[in-house]
Structure 1
Amino acid sequence: MFVVGGESLIDLVPTGAGADAERVALAGGSPFNCAIALSRLGNDTGFLCPISQDEYGDLLLTPLAENGVAVLLKDRVAAPTTKAIVTFNDKMQASYVFERGADRAFTREGLLAALPEAVTLYQIGGFCPILEADAAVWRDVVDQAIARGATVSFDINVRDKLVDDEAGYRARLSQFLDRAHLVKLSEEDHEWLEPGKSIETHATELLERPNCALVVVTLGEHGSRAFSRAAHGSAPIHAPPVFGDTVGAGDSLMAGILTWLKDNDRLGQEPMAGLTNTELDAMLGFGAVVAGINCGRKGCQPPNRAEVDAVLAA
């Protein structure tokens, strides 16, 4: 099973321009989105995050059930659902202000008990390093997933508005990076983490960590790049016929990359380390189609495998 651990939340998305625009509530959160995208692409997927008893919790459970994602924590929690207030710039790129709640309502014992006995892939959520109390628990979960056979992926997804202790956050982030076999980051993550450093240098430094074998960097409208220990590759975006917005684009791309790696028997530290230029280009191209189809819709609505295959065939 592919297991995604981390936050789910409700995106409160404006329906028009201006500060007074009405907002619609949409199920979201990067790990939540990625879990749904993975399942739509044909992967056996579980989601490891507490779900609130409130009405927004109902809104989160519905798409998980509709898309066949296993909810690994069965008992719902009293804490209110975490919320993200979304705004868009003139390119329809989203930014977020967060109100945290149920995503933190877990215990170490509960998470470890919910983890499947066999884990093919474990993905770390971007909120996991933000607070020390949370990070200590999630590190144990990651270590247990590794002990159960998991390849570990980490979509860094820096949320600087939630970071009150930058030095502590960077230290905790580093501990998760040392556990990850695949690291994905956006150009904005890169610039926040390593201002003034080239992407190539940053990727090389990540690959020098104990377990990292593959680094993926997304560049917005300029596509994406990937670096293995053997090669590097790139791919442009897949532009949909009609553009919606970019919500969930990175999560969809990540799901596409993980699916490509599994389907091509390249999921794992050694196989990923040896990926060639041609393979990296193909991997990113597959992910770009998944992300591009999603961007043709409003909100995060990743494609299913048939939709992706149809675009690739054309």
Structure 2
Amino acid sequence: MFVVGGESLIDLVPVSAAADAERMALAGGSPFNCAIALAKLGNEAGFLCPISQDDYGDLLLAPLAAAGVAVLLDERVAAPTTKAIVTFNERMQASYVFERGADRAFTREGLLAALPQQVQLYQIGGFCPILEDDASVWLDVVETALGRGATVSIDINVREKLIEDEAGYRERLDRFLDRAHLVKLSEEDHAWLAPHLTIAEYAGALLERPNCELVVVTLGESGSLAFSRAARGRADIYAPPVFGDTVGAGDSLMAGILTWLGETGALAPGRLGLLDEAALVRTLRFGAVVAGLNCAHKGCVPPSRAEVDAVLSRH
């Protein structure tokens, strides 16, 4: 099973460009989106996050069920659903203000009991390093997954507005990065984390960590880059015929990359680092199509595997 641990939330998204626009509620959260995208691409996927008893919790459960994602924490919690107030810039790139709730309503014992015995891939959510109390629990989950033979990935997804202690956050993030075999970040993450280094230099620094063998960097409209211990590759975006917005694009791309690596036998320690340029380009291209098809919609709507295959058959 591919297990994604971390936050789910409700995106409150403006329905127009007006400053006082009415907002619609959409199910979201980077790990939540990735779990759904993984399932829709044909993987056995599990999601590890508390779900609230409130109406927004119902809204979160519906797409998980529709995609066939296993909700690993089946007892719902009293805490209100976490919310993200979404705004868009002129390029329709999203930014967020958060009100946290149910995503933090977990216990160490509950998470460890819910983690499957067989975990092929465990993905770390971006909120996990933000607070020390949370980070120590999620780190135990990662260690347990590693002990069960999981390949570990992380989508860094820096949420600067939630970080009150930058030094502490960086130290906690380091602990997770030291355990990850595959690291994904955006160019915005890079600019915040290591503005003194080029992207290639920062990727090289990540690859020097104990487990890291593959680094993926998204560049917005400029495509994506991948760095293994053996090579580097680059791919352009896939632009859908009709554009909605970019919500969930990075999550969908990550799911596509994990799917492709799993299907090609590369999603394992010792194999990720051997990927050559051609393999990296193919991996990024598959992820780009998944992300592009998601961007044909408003909000995060990852594509089915059939939709992805239809595009790839034409290109």
Match of 2:283 in 1: 283
Q: TM-score, normalised by structure 2?
A: 0.99
TM-fit CA distance, 1:269? 1.6
Deviations along 1:1-46, one digit per CA (max 9) or x if unpaired, are 0000000000000001222100000000000000000000000000
Deviations along 1:252-306, one digit per CA (max 9) or x if unpaired, are 0000000000000000121100000000000000000000000111110000100
Matched, 1:20 2:3: no
Match of 2:46 in 1: 46
Distance (whole Å) between structure 2 residues aligned to residue 224 and residue 202 of structure 1: 15
Match of 1:173 in 2: 173
Match of 1:248 in 2: 248
Distance (whole Å) between structure 2 residues aligned to residue 237 and residue 170 of structure 1: 30
Letter in 2 for 1:105: A
Match of 1:271 in 2: 271
> SS in structure 2 opposite 1:47?
strand
Distance (whole Å) between structure 2 residues aligned to residue 202 and residue 269 of structure 1: 21
Deviations along 1:86-135, one digit per CA (max 9) or x if unpaired, are 00000000000000000000000000000000000000000000000000
TM-fit CA distance, 1:248? 0.2
**Equivalences for 1:59-98 in 2 at 5 Å?**
59-98=59-98
Match of 1:210 in 2: 210
> SS in structure 1 opposite 2:103?
helix
Q: TM-score, normalised by structure 1?
A: 1.00
**Equivalences for 1:286-297 in 2 at 5 Å?**
286-297=286-297
Deviations along 1:43-77, one digit per CA (max 9) or x if unpaired, are 00000000000000000000000110000001000
Distance (whole Å) between structure 2 residues aligned to residue 115 and residue 286 of structure 1: 29
Provide runs of 4+ in structure 1 moved above 2 Å. none
Equivalent pairs, count:
314
Letter in 2 for 1:264: T
> SS in structure 2 opposite 1:296?
coil
Match of 1:137 in 2: 137
> SS in structure 1 opposite 2:270?
helix
Deviations along 1:133-185, one digit per CA (max 9) or x if unpaired, are 00000000000000111000000000000000000000000000000000000
Unpaired runs of at least 5, structure 1: none
Letter in 1 for 2:18: G
Q: Which is worse superposed, 301-310 or 14-23?
A: 14-23
Unpaired runs of at least 5, structure 2: none
**Identity among equivalent pairs (%):** 75
> SS in structure 1 opposite 2:271?
helix
Q: Which is worse superposed, 223-232 or 14-23?
A: 14-23
Distance (whole Å) between structure 2 residues aligned to residue 224 and residue 123 of structure 1: 20
Letter in 2 for 1:97: V
Match of 1:32 in 2: 32
> SS in structure 1 opposite 2:233?
strand
TM-fit CA distance, 1:196? 2.7
Distance (whole Å) between structure 1 residues aligned to residue 296 and residue 17 of structure 2: 20
> SS in structure 2 opposite 1:188?
helix
Distance (whole Å) between structure 1 residues aligned to residue 110 and residue 202 of structure 2: 36
Letter in 2 for 1:311: V
